[in-house]
């Protein structure tokens, strides 16, 4: 069932809570504004944000490209939103979570409230010890955030969300662009890793894509174990 009229919840208390969840995030976006600077005129800033979100006039700024080193020495590119954009994204994530948490599978632990790597390890242990599992597969989706098909993502979101305000906001974040050393680019695929809403979008894409058999897997033949 698709849900409508979600934007009615975007009132001051809702967005203020989104701000409270975001205020300690110190990474600044393209405008350089910190949480402390935003808080200096908090009520007026939040009321203005709410008006722009609900009226459709909100403009998602580009994300700031920032690179971090991975364990193997390679670099991972992150997209850092502006502080206000983080608040806006958090407010929309709070709308989406109750909807999609009903759908996501119990074996899914990534980027979900109340779940962690420790929970995933406990589930693996139960599968091996209690259920007689024999294999553990370590799988990585190469450049997952960067390679998400946006048209497919929009199609999957439409299955559960028909609220035009929310869907247009998501679309603005997908199209916002990336500022990297003064150069602005507009990738045609993916959602910025580092965005507040990106983990939710990635889980929606992975859940419905996998359950709908939209993913293509290459068959792998494992060597026999000793004694077999």
60-64, 163-167, 176-180, 221-225: the lowest-pLDDT one: 221-225
In angstroms, the CA 192 to CA 37 distance is 24
Give yes or no for a contact between 82 and 30, defined as CB atoms under 8 angstroms apart.
Answer: yes
Give yes or no for a contact between 187 and 77, defined as CB atoms under 8 angstroms apart.
Answer: no
pLDDT of residue 113: 85
In angstroms, the CA 79 to CA 184 distance is 12
Give the tokens for residue 7. 């934007």
pLDDT of residue 166: 94
Element (H, E) at 84: helix 83-100
In angstroms, the CA 17 to CA 189 distance is 31
**pLDDT surpassing 70 at residue 156:** yes
Give the tokens for residue 93. 């994530």
Q: What is the pLDDT of residues 28-55, one digit of tens each?
A: 999 999 999 999 999 999 999 999 999 9
Q: Is the pTM of this model over 0.95?
A: no
pLDDT of residue 3: 60
96-100, 118-122, 130-134, 221-225: the lowest-pLDDT one: 221-225
pLDDT of residue 227: 56
pLDDT of residue 219: 54
By three-state DSSP, how is residue 194 classified? coil
pLDDT of residue 220: 52
Give me the residues paired with residue 183 across strands.
180
Q: What is the pLDDT of residues 211-224, one digit of tens each?
A: 554 455 455 555 56
What is the average pLDDT score of the chain?
A: 88
Q: What is the pLDDT of residues 171-208, one digit of tens each?
A: 999 999 999 999 999 999 999 989 999 999 999 998 88
pLDDT of residue 73: 82
């Amino acid at each position: 069932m698709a849900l409508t009229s979600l934007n009615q919840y975007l009132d001051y208390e809702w967005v203020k809570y989104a701000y409270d969840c975001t205020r300690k995030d110190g990474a600044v976006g393209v405008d350089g504004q910190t949480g402390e600077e935003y808080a200096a005129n908090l009520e007026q800033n939040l009321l203005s944000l709410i008006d722009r979100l609900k009226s459709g006039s909100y403009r998602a700024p580009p994300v700031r490209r920032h690179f971090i080193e991975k364990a193997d020495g390679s670099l991972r590119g992150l997209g850092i939103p502006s502080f206000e954009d983080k608040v806006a994204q958090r407010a929309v994530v709070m709308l989406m979570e109750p909807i999609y948490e009903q759908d996501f599978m119990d074996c899914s632990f990534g980027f979900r409230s109340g779940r962690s790597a420790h929970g995933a390890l406990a589930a693996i242990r139960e599968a091996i010890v209690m259920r007689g599992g024999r294999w553990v597969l370590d799988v990585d989706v190469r450049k997952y955030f960067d390679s998400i098909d946006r048209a497919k993502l929009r199609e999957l979101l439409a299955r559960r969300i028909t609220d035009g305000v929310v869907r247009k906001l998501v679309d603005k974040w997908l199209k916002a662009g990336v500022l990297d050393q003064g150069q602005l680019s507009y990738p045609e695929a993916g959602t910025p890793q580092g965005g507040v809403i990106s983990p939710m979008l990635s889980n929606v894409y992975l859940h419905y894509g996998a359950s709908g058999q939209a993913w293509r897997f290459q068959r792998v033949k494992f060597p026999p174990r000793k004694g077999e």
